[in-house]
Structure 1
Amino acid sequence: MEVTVLISVYKESLEKVKLAIDSIVNQTYTDFLFLIIVDNPDNLEVIHYLQYLTKCDDRFEMIVNTQNLGLAQSLNRGIDRVVTPYLARMDADDIAESDRLEKQIGYLKDNPTVDLLGTNVIYIDEKSNVIGERGTLPCSSEAISEFMRYTNVLNHPTFMGKTSVFKEVKYRNLLYSQDYDFVCRLLEKNYVVNNLSACLLKYRITSFVSNEKKQKQRVAFEQIRHYYRLGKLSTIDIEKTLEASLKNYRADYYKLVDTYNNFVSLLKKKNYLKAISFLIKNLFVKGFVGELFNSLKIFLLKRKYQ
């Protein structure tokens, strides 16, 4: 076997887990192992189903955590078990296109210097209806490295890479933005990260995310981005840094997000005069100018690489 597909299951429904698993079982490329970490010992319906699969198909292996460890530690537990040359990640509620593994493994074999490979995605809703595409992504490691200074351009459920790299870098025990931290540290250590432009996964968008969680995700992302820009992300104790930041995050973030989103909405509607007036009135909202600068840099990078 050449690749192990690693999934961590927490509270996902059996219906969605089945869709995810079936999308891998029905791949055009069949030389894979399937390692599933269950991070919720009370999710008995899923556990019983996976027990059945392990008896029917020797490519399947299940590990049940005796208690909830969190995503990062669950993934690391799985990474420690993998013995195949390549490792592919996927979320328990997403759906892989039938040729995902074939195209990614083929690319990695043809480009042996590449350490981690992502792909583009199609967005789906809770009922698996297609709701859109992400849009063009940078593909070269040089471009990705620059983009990651401002925004995340990797789709974590599409990761496939060298197992040795996953074992070397591992995930840090963060509540939010674990994958952004992981990729930024890879780039900081001069690993080669590429994207395929093809949409090889259907990425499920969950609508039930609280504003508080969204803001904490934002705080974590900004802290990781800050230290990546400084070239210090791999050396700093980001777990302690984020713990302190998340304790002290303020309502400023709510105001910033609302202000920025309202400004972008005016631009999309081509209400340029209102947008200029809104911009002048809100120049002193904490972080607003910084967000505009980041958006401008992303726009310029797209012009440069795409």
Structure 2
Amino acid sequence: MNLFLVLQQTFQDFEFLIIDDGSTDGTLEKIQKYHDSRIKLIVHSTNMGLVESLNQGISLSTGDYIARMDGDDVSLPRRLERQVAFMDLNQHIGVCGGQAQFMGKNQITRAPLSHEEIRCFQLFHCTFAHPSVIFRKSIIDTYGVRYFPYKHAEDYDIWNRLADFTQLTNLPEVLIILRQHSNQVSVASKWVQDRNADAIRMYQLHQLDLYPTEEEYRLHLDFSDFKIRVHDFVHYSNCLAWAHKILEANYKKQKYDHETLNRVLSQFFSLSEVN
């Protein structure tokens, strides 16, 4: 983590909880060289894992808001200023993320902005860049929400549960720079992440009384990955049938805003064609 960049945020009134989860690469020694009253260092003698560390950070935090940050990513200088100002002005919003740019690339995320659109996209995949998120401590504490042990997909799960209690949003501007490397979770433990993400998706489908066949679930993943083969008549027809099945189920259950869900499903078709 680039501590200097965090400490140089334009918004300065924050406590900086740093949880060293049993690191052995010299990280702790680097942290201890910084002398700033905002830093609160928690050291684990042995590795407790990400979920345990995240929940510990939530319990120890004392501010109105909790902002997440990973050690190898970069928050842009006005990230906290922008999010705190937005949350102060929008008391109905409990979770706020933003767009991310990948380091060394022109690639920028296209995360959905509105609460209803986020909820609909979450039926397929996680819509937040986890290190970009800020959320209200009061919401977390009032409803007793904590991260569950969906290893490497714990953020995907918690946004779905928080959506039952508060409004979610993503800001349109880039707030963080994401670093990509071969050792990060999405590469090194992809099979675990995929398995747990599957469980989260399936739970949401079951809430619609949808119990997809193996083939239908493969189609669902094609939606999630924007891999609908729009020029393959059979595949396109099967995807269209699955989309109609989702809409019919939602019409009965009224879990998602129906117009928004219809629009989101249409986007999977149009964006698959572009990609």
Contact kept in structure 1, 2:151 and 2:192, CA below 8 Å = no
Residues 65 and 91 of structure 1: is their aligned pair in 2 closer, same or farther, counting only changes over 3 Å? same
Stretches of structure 2 that go unaligned for 5 or more consecutive residues are: 209-213, 247-261, 270-275
Are residues 1:139 and 2:113 paired?
yes
Q: Secondary structure at the match of 1:115?
A: strand
Q: Secondary structure at the match of 2:107?
A: strand
Q: How far apart, CA to CA, are the structure 1 residues paired with 2:58 and 2:79?
A: 20
Q: Determine the structure 2 residue equivalent to 1:120.
A: 99
Are residues 1:90 and 2:69 paired?
yes
Q: Determine the structure 2 residue equivalent to 1:80.
A: 59
Are residues 1:300 and 2:266 paired?
yes
Deviation at 1:163, TM superposition (A): 1.2
Q: Determine the structure 2 residue equivalent to 1:219.
A: 195
Are residues 1:151 and 2:151 paired?
no
Contact kept in structure 2, 1:119 and 1:158, CA below 8 Å = yes
CA deviation digits over 1:165-210, x for unaligned, max 9?
234201112312000011011113x321111111111112233468
Contact kept in structure 1, 2:145 and 2:162, CA below 8 Å = yes
Moved more, 65-74 or 165-174: 165-174
CA deviation digits over 1:115-163, x for unaligned, max 9?
1111111112xxxx1341112x322212211221122211111111111
Contact kept in structure 2, 1:104 and 1:117, CA below 8 Å = yes
Moved more, 220-229 or 204-213: 204-213
User: Which contiguous aligned blocks of 4+ residues in structure 1 show a shift greater than 6 angstroms?
Assistant: 209-212
CA deviation digits over 1:9-58, x for unaligned, max 9?
xxxxxxxx22xx22212211111111110112433x111111121xx211
Q: How far apart, CA to CA, are the structure 2 residues paired with 1:186 and 1:221?
A: 17
Q: How far apart, CA to CA, are the structure 2 residues paired with 1:92 and 1:183?
A: 21
Q: Determine the structure 1 residue equivalent to 2:30.
A: 49
Q: Determine the structure 1 residue equivalent to 2:17.
A: 35
Letter in 2 for 1:84: G
Residues 144 and 161 of structure 1: is their aligned pair in 2 closer, same or farther, counting only changes over 3 Å? same
Contact kept in structure 2, 1:150 and 1:297, CA below 8 Å = no
Residues 40 and 212 of structure 1: is their aligned pair in 2 closer, same or farther, counting only changes over 3 Å? closer
Q: Which of 135, 156, 162 does residue 161 from structure 1 map onto?
A: 135
Q: How far apart, CA to CA, are the structure 1 residues paired with 2:74 and 2:199?
A: 31
Stretches of structure 1 that go unaligned for 5 or more consecutive residues are: 1-16, 233-251
Equivalent pairs counted in the alignment come to: 243
Q: Which of 161, 179, 184 does residue 204 from structure 1 map onto?
A: 179
Q: Secondary structure at the match of 2:24?
A: coil
Letter in 2 for 1:85: D
Contact kept in structure 1, 2:117 and 2:264, CA below 8 Å = no
TM-score scaled by length of structure 2:
0.75
TM-score scaled by length of structure 1:
0.68
Contact kept in structure 2, 1:119 and 1:198, CA below 8 Å = yes
Letter in 2 for 1:31: D
Q: How far apart, CA to CA, are the structure 2 residues paired with 1:69 and 1:26?
A: 29
Letter in 1 for 2:7: V
Q: How far apart, CA to CA, are the structure 2 residues paired with 1:39 and 1:173?
A: 16
Contact kept in structure 2, 1:119 and 1:197, CA below 8 Å = yes
